[in-house]
Structure formats: structure tokens, C-alpha cells
Structure 1
């Protein structure tokens, strides 16, 4: 048996729940983690909702947690930009919650192509003029960053187009490449989590269902990574980031240790 990690970092969508339904075995596995006296963080790349929203959702689903254990890509992005003033004026493709987080940190948000930085995020209210402003700003030399690179946000009915698809459209039209990710799998986030948890990186484990965000977050920050391979996905031959463990469901988590 392997030594139980001192800290577990859990993805939410597709790992703990799908839509409004708790995934079978999630409650029991999280209870096992708590009984092991391990520290816990819940990290979501979905920037559309507040930490309070996720706190109330988890509690409604019967999952014990606290406000400080929840981290969102919108929250992390706002904090990062507040600490890095060189990004200047920000044009945002994103929704109200991200804008609220940015306003709280007094980030200079503009609505035209004079922006110094284009910040792309999950946006279910995307319209053509938003893309055109971003297109013009990028062609003028603006920085190109994102809260999260996910192509699709998982939902019970097959998913929603996420920021990765918007990024791809702008990369294709401008011949620019995305320069920085601030949420998963960024090392910015990984290092912050390790610092918050106060543990050595190899005593922390990331648990999630995405190779390109969850597993990569763990491995490029020298943490362990557990991949929930729920859909018979195959690891690409050219991947740099292999999980330490692979399971079919979060219900199998306690069996690893």
C-alpha cells in the first residue's frame, strides 16, 4: 500500500459531481480523505460562478467543505493580474462573475481594442463584436492570456463550448498563440496551491478527470496525479504528463492507499 498523501486537490466538474448530481462514491471517498486527516482543496476551471456558489452547491450535495477550501480560475486570475500590473488595460471575453472578481481587485477593464491584454474565458454570451475587439487588440500587439484552456465544460447532456474553443478561433484568425494560462494546468496555480497547503509538493495529489488540465497541473508542479479515466480515453503517445495512478471512478480512491 502507498502512503496516504498529506493533501488532496480535487477537480469538481466530472470528478465530484456532474451537473447537479453527485458522482457515485464521491461522498464516501471524501469522508475517507477527511478521516485520514489530509488537507483538501476543491479547484475548478469554471469561472462562471463564485466560490460561495460552489460552497453552497457542495454542501447541498452533502459534501463537507469550507469557503477557504474552494478555488476558482476567476479568483486566481484576478489575484494574478492585481500582482502583475504590466498587463495594463484588460479586454475580457467572459461573464459577470469574472468581471466581478476583476473589479474587486481594481483591475482596469476596457471594452475596446486599445487593451494591452486580451483575457479569454468561458463565455456563454459570446457575440461577434467581442471576437472582433479581441481580434483587433491582438493584431495591435496585446498580450494573450486565459483563465482556463478547456475546450468543453462537462455537463450531463454532453458539454458546453468553453474558452479553449474561443482561443482556437482567435489563434486561427490572428496567427497569434496563447501566451499564458492562469488556472489549471498552470504552474502559477500549482505553486500557489502548494504554498497554501504548506506541504511538500510530492506529499500533495491532484485528482481529476482531465489529462490536459488536472494531471498536467499535478505533474508540472511536482505533485502526484490521479487520473479518473471514466470514458476509456487513451493517453496520447506524445504526452509529457503521465498520471501516477489511474482509476475508473472517485469511488476507487481509497483503494489506492
Structure 2
């Protein structure tokens, strides 16, 4: 299948559409062309620090018009996961306000007492402390299950990367002596199925575009959805063979999404 033959195109955000406060080359033009050709578009991020509404506002700052229903985020997917699988859970949150905001929309129950929690939800917490680590550890040692919004160890920023959710989650896992129970974000099957449900397309009519092999590209691999790696974020060309995770297409940036496409062997 040619890269312009898909019905729906799903874009990661950080490292794909923008980097920090800078829109990446070709992002706006590519999205406008897709809209003009009646293609379905969705934005799929693992970011645990933004609500869907905040993502919409950031995209609109770049001149990209988007409906909130076209956005999936780490907190929103985690809220869906709990509402469908553990609706009566009592959740101790290690994370930022975006998680609590999305969970309030689903009327999910959260607690500040780690010893009454049934689950510990871990997202990126940029004010994470030794005290927070100990509180989460006690919750898990008391029987709470560890749920993680996203498995990203780092997040791309201008000039490099910063640590992300999985660094915190693994610290809690090691301290508690209990394994992570579930990761809800990319590349989980739960996330993949939600994409297809929201878009209402067959999996062979959908393309996932992102900058990270271990989340964006594996999301497609695990869910039998085609993938395109864009080299504007954390992954470089030489990383593909090292990781042995092969996307269906590779592009330097979104300017070349429909031109100069490399297809790995």
C-alpha cells in the first residue's frame, strides 16, 4: 500500500508534530493536506502531564485546528482503562494535575491515603520526591497494583531529553518488590483498540506516525497497524537496526511524509 492510500492517520505529538514550543517542519501543511483530502486524523500522545483540552489548546497555538475528540492522551487512556476494568478502584496517584482532571471526568475515586489504595497510578511527576516514593511503595506493599500511564523512560525536548514516567514507575517497582501490573499507554493493546474504535476504521486502513520505536512503532506492530517513523524526535536512522524494530516507512520529517519515503527491508 502507498503511504497516501490510508483512510486514517494517527500522529504522535512530542517529537512528531512539535518539539517544546516549536512546530516541526511540515506538520501544519501535512495536516491541512490530509483534511483537504477527507482523511481521518487523530493525535495519539503518551504525555501524562496534559489533558486532551490542553493538547488541543497547544495545537491551536501552532495554527492546527483540532477537535478534542481527535486527541488521545496518557491520562485519558488510563481513565478509560480504570472505568472499563476497575470502576470501583481507589486510586493513589503519583503524577500531575492532568491525571486528576481526566479522572474527575469519569467520576473515578482517588485517595491521598496510600494504605487504603487498591491501585497506584504512576505518571510523570516533575515534583517527585523521596517521600512520594516511600508513600507509593507502602501502598504497593499493602496490596495495591501498579498501573503506569506510559512506558517512556525519557521525553524529547529541545537540545536533548528529560526523564519520563517509566523512570519513576521502575523506582516504585524496585522499592516495593512488586512488578508493574499494567501499562495503559502506547504500545498497549488497550490503546491500539481505542484508536480503531474512535476512528471507526479497519486496522489495515490506519497509519501510525511517530518518533519513538518502543512506543509508536511497537503500538502498530502489536496491534497490526502500519507505521511510519519520523526522524525528528528521539529515534535516529541507526537506532532502527540496533533495536530491530522495523517500521513500514521512514521519513526525515513530515515535509517528506508523502515524498522520499524509505521502506526498510
TM range (shorter): over 0.9
TM-score (norm 1): 0.92
Give the deviation of 1:238 after TM superposition. 6.2
TM-score (norm 2): 0.90
Give the deviation of 1:148 after TM superposition. 0.8
Shift >6 Å, 4+ stretches = none
Alignment of 1:47-66 (within 5 A): 47-66=48-67
Partner of 1:131: 133
Instruction: Identify the match of residue 235 of structure 1 among 231, 240, 254.
Output: 240
Give the deviation of 1:247 after TM superposition. 1.5
Give the deviation of 1:18 after TM superposition. 0.5
Partner of 2:114: 113
Partner of 1:161: 163
Query: 2:32 and 2:100 mapped to 1: Cα distance?
Result: 35
Query: 1:119 and 1:34 mapped to 2: Cα distance?
Result: 36
Partner of 1:249: 253
Alignment of 1:48-87 (within 5 A): 48-85=49-86
- Is the CA contact 2:146–2:182 (under 8 Å) kept in the aligned structure 1? yes
- Is the CA contact 2:48–2:98 (under 8 Å) kept in the aligned structure 1? yes
- SS of the equivalent of 2:180 reads coil
Unpaired segments ≥5 residues, structure 1: none
User: Residues 187-240 of structure 1, C-alpha deviation per residue, up to 9 Å, x if partnerless?
Assistant: 10110110111111011010000001101111211110101134334125564x
Instruction: Identify the match of residue 205 of structure 2 among 180, 203, 206.
Output: 203
User: Residues 28-54 of structure 1, C-alpha deviation per residue, up to 9 Å, x if partnerless?
Assistant: 222222233210001111121222222
Q: Relative to structure 1, is the Cα distance of residues 244 and 26 closer, same or farther in structure 2, using a 3 angstrom cutoff?
A: same
Partner of 1:13: 14
Which region of structure 1 is more displaced relative to structure 2, 209-218 or 247-256? 247-256
Give the deviation of 1:89 after TM superposition. 1.3
Query: 2:109 and 2:10 mapped to 1: Cα distance?
Result: 31
- Is the CA contact 1:10–1:206 (under 8 Å) kept in the aligned structure 2? yes
Query: 2:237 and 2:169 mapped to 1: Cα distance?
Result: 27
Partner of 2:214: 212
- SS of the equivalent of 1:111 reads coil
- Is the CA contact 1:218–1:224 (under 8 Å) kept in the aligned structure 2? yes
Give the deviation of 1:8 after TM superposition. 0.4
- Is the CA contact 1:87–1:117 (under 8 Å) kept in the aligned structure 2? no
User: Residues 141-181 of structure 1, C-alpha deviation per residue, up to 9 Å, x if partnerless?
Assistant: 32111111111122114233211100121222233222211
Match status 1:23 vs 2:28 = no
- Is the CA contact 2:19–2:157 (under 8 Å) kept in the aligned structure 1? yes
- Is the CA contact 1:32–1:254 (under 8 Å) kept in the aligned structure 2? no
